[in-house]
Amino acid sequence: MISEADQHAIWHAAAEARDSRFDGVFFTCVTSTGIYCRCVCPARMPKRANRIFHRSAAAAEKAGFRPCLLCRPEKAPGAAPIDQKQRLAAQAVSRIEAGALEEQGLDDLARDLGVTGRHLRRVTVDVFGAAPIDIAQTHRLLTAKRLLTETQLSVTEIAFASGFQSVRRFNALFLERYGFPPSRIRRARIATQEPTLTLDLVARGQFDPASHFAFFASRAITGVEALGDGYARTLKIGAHAGFVSIRPGPRGVKLSMSHSLSPALRQLVAMVRGAFDLDADASAIDSLLGDDADLDVAGDPGVRLPGGLDPFEVAMRAVLGQQVTIGAARKLTQKIVDTFGSPIETGVAGLDRLFPDAAQIAAADPGMIAGLGMPFARAQTLQRLGAAVTEGKLLLARGAVAAGREGLMALPGIGPWTVEYVALRGLGDPDAFPAGDSAIRAALGMKIGVEQRAERWRPWRAYAAVRLWRKHGRTIAQKTASEKIGGEVR
């Protein structure tokens, strides 16, 4: 059990990072002003000596602190009824901004969140002063403004890429909200027929994408993925399929996509930002982990969480990777793709197959899956995984950590390691930690007590896990190099 002193040290680091993933987990009380704030408060950071913490707004007020008028602690997500409303509204907006209402209706989104459509409307109006459809329209308009400025897409293409169902509705709403037509801020150049649409995605703080590309390279599946000066792959988002290319950018990454994926642009941007962990404050996380020599923060600064674009694909790969090496899992995954994946024409050499979706795996015969070289029980787990997602019993989406964990644990054949791995690589949980992982144990030089050892790394245990995997990889590489004799490995 983590001590109160250690917990406060963790909260100091989280407060300095202003990481929204911990909004509502604790409140910062400033002794010099008598005010308490959320960890995301934009006000100037008080001195460490003037900061104390409480687990709830009620505890802070009982201790004599007043709520900050800038960050409004009453809006922080938490466990109280009013806080549950804030959390629900925030989850809804996150899903809406990722394009949830493009492929499903409001009632479907509400069902995913465990409430009725009527209740969800009421909550978003109470919290944000706008109904879900108004929130969606505002995000569509902001996306459209960016595309008008940064791309060569036509106004018609931008309307559909931003999520509008008709150009007429786009033009009318744009004029209504901004007082001028979209053509007014259209770049003064004629749109070309370039095969791709490119956007710059900016990272928070310093960012080195090399480790992400190395992660993808070690697991790349022929036909689906290709590595060159970056990472390219085929992808299907809803009814839209095509290819994407992600390369190093000046302050993050450059995302290029085929025009066939432009209608799913908002979903794709959210997927890439999550997979490359662009919104993490790596320097603040390093400051918490830096005192532990096992994590080698000084020698390997700025580590982020490499993840997958599609959480279902991450879950598939995790099941295929149970108790086998990365290389063995890669071979099994290749067989799954070759057998069940759909062909696709991209015009890009080496990208001609889609990773199978949940419906395809749900419809597969477990015996046929097992025939690819795995135990029948594991084949059944894969089929059940696909069925659970297809039937709506399992929600796999970035940010939906609690629902994803609960749904995964309900499936036979999926245990703690798989759940933690999927939470880390696919759901975006910064505190996920697969304590039973053999490489993590080897990196720490211990077989028992790993869970307790990791308590000091909260709330960023996932970053510690990645560091330990990297440490183990370097150890193996050094050992292999030292055993080479005459260019051969013993």
Catalytic residues: 37, 437
- List phi, psi (to 5°) of 242: 175, -145
Query: What is the identity of the amino acid at 362?
Result: A
Distance CA 310, CA 227 (A): 18
Token pair, residue 198, equals 């490119």
Tokens 């007014």 correspond to what residue?
A: 184
Nearest-angstrom CA–CA distance, 402 and 21: 13
Closest CA to 170 of 182, 184, 185, 153: 182
- Give the helix ranges, DSSP H, for 208-325: 210-219, 265-275, 282-289, 311-320
Helix/strand/coil (H, E, C) string of 363-417? CCCHHHHHCCCCCHHHHHHHHHHHHHHHCCCCCCCCCCHHHHHHHHHCCCCCCHH
* Of 72, 68, 93, 97, residue with least CA distance to 82: 72
Which tokens in the block code for residue 367? Answer: 């015996």
Would you say 201 and 253 are in contact if contact means Cβ atoms under 8 Å apart?
yes
Say how many CA atoms lie within 13 Å of 419 toward its Cβ. 19
R_g over Cα of the chain: 24
Q: Quick one: tokens of 177?
A: 């909200």
Q: What is the DSSP letter of 188?
A: S
CA–CA distance, 286 with 295 (Å, rounded to integer): 10
Cα separation, 468 vs 118, in Å, equals: 46
3-state secondary structure of 425: helix
Angle at 272 between CA 157 and CA 236, to 5 degrees: 60
Q: What angle do CA 393, 394, 396 make, to 5 degrees?
A: 155
